[in-house]
Amino acid sequence: MNPADLPRSILVVGSGGREHALVQAFAASPARPRVLCAPGNAGIAADADCFPVKADDVAGLVELALREKAEFVVVGPEAPLSLGLADRLAGAGIPVYGPSAKGARLEASKTFTKRLLIKHGIPTADAAFFGETAAALDYLRSRRTPIVVKADGLAAGKGVVVAKTLKEAEAAVKGMIEGGKFGTGGRQILIEDCLEGEETSILVVVSGWEYVILPTSQDHKRIGDGDKGPNTGGMGAYSPAEVVTPALMEAIERTIVRPSVAAIASEGIDFCGTLFIGIMLTAQGPKVLEFNTRFGDPETQAVLPRLATDPLDLLWAAAKGALGGYRIKVRPGYAICVVLSAMGYPEYYPTGDAIEIPLVLPADVAVLHAGTARDAAGRLVTAGGRVLGVTAVAGSLAEAAARAYRTCESIHFASKYYRRDIGARQLRRV
C-alpha cells in the first residue's frame, strides 16, 4: 500500500514486550504515524504517547481512541478482546486489528475451540467434555496416563494440567469442577490425550477467509533451563523454528491453517486479527494444542524483526479486508528474544528494583520493556514478572544468541533472572 494510504495515528492496547515490539515497528513505518499506547510502560513511553487507561477498560479505551482521533487500533492482549473491545471500536467507526468477542472465544473457551476442531476434522488431541466430577473421574479411569485436564475459559495459562499419574489427574478434575480453583474458567472441563513432540507457534494474520502466515517461531514456556519448572507466559523465543521444515510447513498450512481459517469464517465469525496456533509436532503429524486470538509474547518480539514488509501495512490490509494475494517479505537470518524476569516469577517476585540498561546498545540489539515503570523519583524500576526482553538479529542463531546474551549480562537489576538456553535446542541440532 502507498504509505499515504496508511493510518496517521495508531493506538496500541497493552503494556508488555509484545506491545513494545508493535509500537517500535509502527514507529518505524514509512508512513511515519503518530503512535499511542494504553497503558504502555516505562520503555514504551520513549517510543509512543502513553495514556493511563487499563487494557481491560473497554469504555475508557473507546473514549481515548475517539478523543485522540486514532485512525487504527491494534489490540495486544486477549482480555479486552473477550470483553468486546473490537466490537465497540467497530461500532464507533474505528478500524481495529483484533477479533470480536465472538472470535476471541477461540481463545477464551477451550471447549468451544475443541468442538470446532472436531467438527471440521482439524487434527487435534482426542478429547471428552465434562461438567460434573463423577463422570469425569470414570472417564479418567478408562484412559492411560499421562493425560491432560483443561479448564474451560481464560485462566492466565494456569488452566491446563498435564497429569503424569491418575492421582494427579483426579486432583485436577476435582480442583477445576468443584474447587472453583480457576474462577469462571472451571466447571466445564476437557480431558484430552497427551500429545508428544516438539511445540511450535504459528502466527497467522487473518481477515475473514484470507490469511498470511508469519515466520515460524518457538517459545520457551518453562521457567528453568532445560524446560524445567512451572509454565510461564514465555521466557524467550527465536525465529525461524527450523524444526518446521518446508514440508512440515506445507502440511501445517494444508491440514491446519487453511481449514481453521475456513472453519472460523464458515461458522459466521468475522475474524480480523492474529490466529496464534499452538501446534504439537507429533509422530502422526502436526496437531493443534490451542488457539490464541492475539500475537504471542515473546514470539512477536522474535518474529517482527524478521519482516521486511511494513507490519503496519500488513495489519492495515487485514483490517481493510485487503489480504487477498498479500505477500510478505521475510529477511534472511535469525532473531531471538531473551526475557529477563524478576526472580520468583511466575509466582511471587519483588517489584521496585532499580534497573540499569547501557545507554549504547550493540547494533542489531534492542531492549524491549514489559514490567517496567518509573518510581516517584523518576528512576526506571521493575514492575512485573517479565521485566525486559532483549532481542537480537544476526546471520546465524548462534550469533543472535551471543549478541542477546552479552546484552543480558550488561543489564542490571537486583532480582534479574533469565534462562541461559534460549535457542539451545535448535543450536544442538545443527
Which residues of the shown chain bind ligand GLY in the complex (CB under 6 A)?
219, 234, 292, 296-297, 299
Q: How far apart are CA 33 and CA 212, in angstroms?
A: 23
- Choose the one of ligand AMP, ligand GLY, none that binds residue 296, judging by a C-beta under 5 to 8 angstroms depending on kind: ligand GLY
Q: How far apart are CA 383 and CA 375, in angstroms?
A: 10
Q: Nearest approach, Cβ of 282 to ligand GLY (angstroms)?
A: 20
Residue 115 interacts with, from ligand AMP, ligand GLY, none (CB under 5-8 Å by kind) = none
- Least spacing, CB of residue 159 vs ligand AMP, in Å: 7
Closest to 235 in 3D by CA, of 59, 2, 420, 3 = 420
| CA distances for 78 relative to 67, 84, 171, 274, 410, angstroms | 23, 10, 28, 11, 33
Q: How far is the CB of 296 from ligand GLY (least distance, A)?
A: 4
Partner touching 87 among ligand GLY, ligand AMP, none, CB below 5 to 8 Å by kind: none
What is Dmax (Cα atoms) for the chain? 62
In this complex, which beta carbon is closest to ligand AMP, that of residue 148 or of residue 173? 148
Closer CB to ligand AMP, residue 78 or residue 313?
78
Among ligand AMP, ligand GLY, none, partner that 194 touches (CB below 5 to 8 angstroms by kind): ligand AMP
Give the Cα separation of 19 and 386 in Å (integer): 13
Q: Which does 195 bind (CB under 5 to 8 A by kind): ligand AMP, ligand GLY, none?
A: ligand AMP
Cβ closer to ligand AMP: 286 or 305?
Answer: 286
DSSP string, 319-343: HTT--TT----B-SSEEEEEEEEEE
Closer residue to ligand AMP (CB): 225 or 290? 290
Q: Which residues bind ligand AMP (CB under 6 A)?
A: 125, 148, 160, 162, 192, 194-195, 199, 221, 278, 289-290
* Rounded alpha-carbon distances, angstroms, from residue 309 to 27, 242, 312, 315: 14, 21, 9, 11
Nearer to ligand AMP, 221 or 425 (CB): 221
CB of 276 to ligand GLY, least distance (A): 7
E-strand stretches of 29-79: 34-39, 49-50, 72-75
Task: Report the C-alpha dihedral over residues 248, 289, 313, 389, rounded to 10 degrees.
Answer: -100
We find the least distance from the C-beta atom of residue 135 to ligand AMP, in angstroms, to be 20
The smaller minimum CB distance to ligand AMP, of residues 287 and 369, is found at 287
Tell me the closest approach of the beta carbon of residue 93 to ligand AMP, in angstroms.
Answer: 35
**Length of the chain (residues):** 430
How far is it, in rounded angstroms, from Cα 50 to Cα 29? 19
- Nearer to ligand AMP (CB atom), residue 148 or residue 394: 148
Q: Which residue do the cell numbers 479418567 mark?
A: 140
- Cβ neighbourhood burial of 34 (10 Å; 0-12, 13-18, 19+): middle
Which strand (E) or helix (H) includes residue 314?
helix 311-319
Q: Whole-number minimum distance, CB 7 to ligand GLY, in Å?
A: 25
170 binds, among ligand AMP, ligand GLY, none (CB under 5 to 8 A by kind): none
